[in-house]
Amino acid sequence: MKFVGLVSGGKDSLFNILHCVENGHELVCLANLHPPEGVADEMDSFMYQTVGYHALSMYGECLGVPLYRGAIEGSSKAIGLEYEATEKDETEDLFRLLKTVKECQPEVEGVSVGAILSNYQRTRVEDVCNRLGLTSLAFLWQRRQDELLDEIVDSGVDARIIKTAAVGLGKQHLGRSLGEARADLIKYHEMYGIHLCGEGGEYETLVVDAPIFRKRLHLDMQNSHIKDLSSEFVSYLERIKVDLHEKDTSPQSWHIPVPPLLNERFRETHDEDCPDIDYPSTGTTETSKDEKAVYIECQSSTYRTENDAIVFNNLQSPDNNNPDIEKETQRVFNLLDEELQKHNLDYASLTSITLLLKDMGDFDTVNRIYKTRFSRSLPPARLCIATRRIVGMVQLSAVASEAARTGLHVQGCSYWAPSNIGPYSQAIFTNDVYYFSGQIGLIPATLQLHTSLKTQSILALQNLVNVAVAQSADINAVFCFITDRNLYKPIQQIWKSVAQALDPVETLVKARNNLVVAVVDNLPKNAAVEWAALGSTSTSCAEFFVTSTLPKSHLQSIVFTTTRTSTPGHVIPVNAVYDANSSQISLAAVVM
């Protein structure tokens, strides 16, 4: 896609542009926000780097594309992690700037942003992108900083330090390249815990040259004023002086390495632990081709759990005389509206939703209606599967809570994990429990489903683990949905490798004996495998145990107990999920 590069002059914004181009996207313009006229170089902004902004006027010529600029008129009014449009907030300056870009260059579809760890920055850029119909491209998101620092240095990006704000760093580092300062950065990282890429504000940089530059900048240190606030461990270049120079040679073709699709641990599973798994030739279900569907009608119910979560079970409203997926979906959501109103709750209180469709071909219609109900930040986690054995065309179960919650709702493309293909969060945390949305084997950078069933199966689990790691959460119970019974043995082998080995993936240690596998008719995007989970952040959260194995079946019906109480926890049934022998199981979300 054609994209605009958000640039501050720093290494992260420029290096992410290189990754956008490496992934086949086309840079068509740049955008920069700067302090208003007469304001000091260093602004108290939660969002933007402003030191060195004078040099940015030359960036359009350096990269050979138009540069759009705007003044930062707002301030940090809305300081919560999640963001919604707020008058006079500095995020609205970004909205106005990108709106101008879209009006002048309507072909722009994406926005390059150099966020690495800052959820504050990421959520604001994504909010602006959503309002303007743009896609956030954030290929540095959640990257390891030691690897990233080395990659930037090795890529030919010449980034000079123009501000320091950390113990150990000072005015002596101003003007140094990252390569020259690398040893000191590692030293102070080991001594004081500074972030190697400056994610804690330890330093800021100005890129003066890069492989993509047509012209380069020369930083004139002799005529740049150094402001030294040594008592505050802060030094920076004020009224920075740069000159534009022709490059010695014309731009050459260049290439930067991208992270491997599977990280080292999951590559080991793929290449060494599971090299000879016999996968079925297709991912389509073989469980029901010659079987007559058995429809099980589940009664709707609502109850409150011991930790005050509200459970809405099996909401459905079929009309067998006049089946219409759009009308039936609207009726199901109307039922949810009524239940929420009875308990003085709204959609913002929902933490997890399980959605059953009779036909996954109805997904786009259902998802379109679903989007109209979840327009605010941090929508609930979601699991969506297709089973022809529900009575109607759509069935919904939900969990709501009045307790405070946090979560992860990443909507930008990256190498980390897939962005949302619907209005749901990757994870929601409330009452000591994490609800993780289902993950399929999408390639995060492209959102394309991997064509190899083996890689798809392993990648889907890695996607789930990456979400949990980003939230510092332990996974306690894992559910794997497959569309072909012949995938059962490969899934068991993968699980044995990553969770039950002598060196298991740390996030999965508590779940090593808590895997439930279920055969379903279809999954989103016709995936063969989907992994979902429940988890916790610490040992203070109750442990989960899976019990009640069905006879003559690889599958399990689940009842969860906790270490806090001897009574079983509540189970929200996903009705009529069957194994190859049509043995019924009930599973879905679990509430403590």
Do 356 and 269 share a structural domain? yes
Cβ neighbours of 485 (radius 10 Å): 18
The 8-class DSSP code of residue 522 comes to B
The Cα angle at residue 354 between residues 389 and 321, in degrees rounded to 5: 45
The 8-class DSSP code of residue 537 comes to S
pTM listed for this prediction: 0.87
CATH number at residue 464: 3.30.1330.40
Strand boundaries in 168-272, DSSP class E: 203-209, 215-219, 225-229, 234-238, 242-246
Do 223 and 371 share a structural domain? no
CATH number at residue 41: 3.40.50.620
Do 223 and 328 share a structural domain? no
**Confidence at residue 518, expressed as pLDDT on a 0 to 100 scale:** 80
Q: Which residues contact 409 (CB under 8 A, 6 or more apart)?
A: 82, 123, 377, 378, 379, 420, 424, 425, 426
Do 431 and 478 share a structural domain? yes
Percent helix, percent strand, percent coil in the chain, to nearest 5: 30, 25, 45
Q: Is the dihedral of CA 189, 195, 200, 201 positive or negative?
A: positive
Q: Answer yes or no: is 288 within a domain.
A: no
Do 487 and 352 share a structural domain? yes
Do 310 and 233 share a structural domain? no
How far apart are the C-alpha atoms of 42 and 24, rounded to whole Å? Answer: 35
Six token digits for residue 509: 């240690």
Per-position pLDDT tens, the chain of length 592 = 999 999 999 999 999 999 999 999 999 999 999 988 867 667 667 778 888 888 899 999 999 999 999 998 988 888 787 888 889 889 999 999 999 999 999 999 999 999 998 888 999 999 999 999 999 999 999 999 999 999 999 999 999 999 999 999 999 999 999 999 999 999 999 999 999 999 988 999 999 999 999 999 999 988 888 888 876 788 988 888 899 999 876 656 788 999 999 999 999 999 988 877 777 765 444 444 434 444 455 677 787 776 678 888 889 888 877 889 999 999 999 999 999 999 999 999 999 998 999 999 999 999 999 999 998 889 999 999 898 878 889 999 898 999 999 999 999 999 999 998 678 999 999 888 899 999 999 999 999 999 999 999 999 999 999 999 999 999 988 888 888 888 888 998 999 999 988 788 899 988 887 787 888 889 999 999 999 998 876 443 333 333 222 222 223 333 332 222 223 333 323 322 333 233 333 333 332 2
Q: Answer yes or no: is 180 within a domain.
A: yes
**Confidence at residue 459, expressed as pLDDT on a 0 to 100 scale:** 97
Long-range pairs, 359-367, Cβ under 8 A, ≥24: 359/325, 359/386, 359/388, 359/393, 359/522, 360/386, 360/521, 360/522, 360/523, 360/524, 360/526, 362/325, 362/393, 362/394, 363/524, 365/325, 365/326, 365/329, 366/325, 366/329, 366/394, 367/422, 367/423
The 8-class DSSP code of residue 177 comes to B
Domain count, the chain: 2
Do 342 and 194 share a structural domain? no
Domain extent for 154: 2-246
Do 272 and 404 share a structural domain? yes
Q: Answer yes or no: is 259 within a domain.
A: no
How far apart are the C-alpha atoms of 327 and 294, rounded to whole Å? Answer: 24
Six token digits for residue 170: 């000072």
Do 269 and 242 share a structural domain? no
How far apart are the C-alpha atoms of 536 and 428, rounded to whole Å? Answer: 11
How far apart are the C-alpha atoms of 35 and 238, rounded to whole Å? Answer: 13
Q: Answer yes or no: is 257 within a domain.
A: no
**Confidence at residue 297, expressed as pLDDT on a 0 to 100 scale:** 57
Do 317 and 404 share a structural domain? yes
**Confidence at residue 232, expressed as pLDDT on a 0 to 100 scale:** 75
Six token digits for residue 246: 């022709």
Do 325 and 240 share a structural domain? no
Single out the residue of 310, 393, 314, 294 nearest to residue 344, CA to CA.
310
Q: Answer yes or no: is 85 within a domain.
A: yes
How far apart are the C-alpha atoms of 435 and 428, rounded to whole Å? Answer: 5
Do 331 and 182 share a structural domain? no
